[in-house]
């Protein structure tokens, strides 16, 4: 295992301890993320109705890749944070 994976594993370990300690906050965060996804999906369907299927398929594929690769998940998460702060 490389240094990057060890660092990410320790980061996820800290996140897991925090989530286990405060499960109510974790569940609230989970539903908040679902709401954000629904809102983004609504915007895609309104502005690009022909691309609605892609709005469902691409996040599902990205989620499947992120499930098996933590480095990918961390990089995508960081990029999404940057995009959110820029917008």
Task: Dump pLDDT digits (tens) for 21-61.
Answer: 676 666 777 787 778 888 888 888 888 888 888 877 887 88
Q: What is the tally of structural domains in the chain?
A: 1
CA atoms of 64 and 14, how far apart (whole Å)? 23
Res 1 pLDDT > 70: no
Percent of the chain at pLDDT exceeding 90? 0
Range of the domain at 25: 3-86
Spell out the residues 6+ positions from residue 76 whose beta carbon is closer than 8 angstroms to its own.
Answer: 62, 66
Record the pTM. 0.47
* CB-count burial class (<10 Å; 0-12, 13-18, 19+) for 77: exposed
């Amino acid at each position: 295992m490389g240094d990057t994976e060890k660092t990410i594993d320790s980061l996820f370990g800290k996140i897991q301890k925090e989530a286990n300690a405060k499960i109510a906050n974790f569940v609230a965060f989970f539903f908040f993320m679902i709401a954000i996804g629904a809102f983004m999906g609504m915007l895609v369907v309104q502005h690009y109705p022909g691309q609605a299927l892609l709005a469902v398929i691409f996040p599902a594929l990205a989620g499947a890749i992120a499930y098996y690769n933590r480095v990918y998940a961390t990089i995508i998460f960081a990029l999404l944070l940057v995009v959110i702060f820029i917008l």
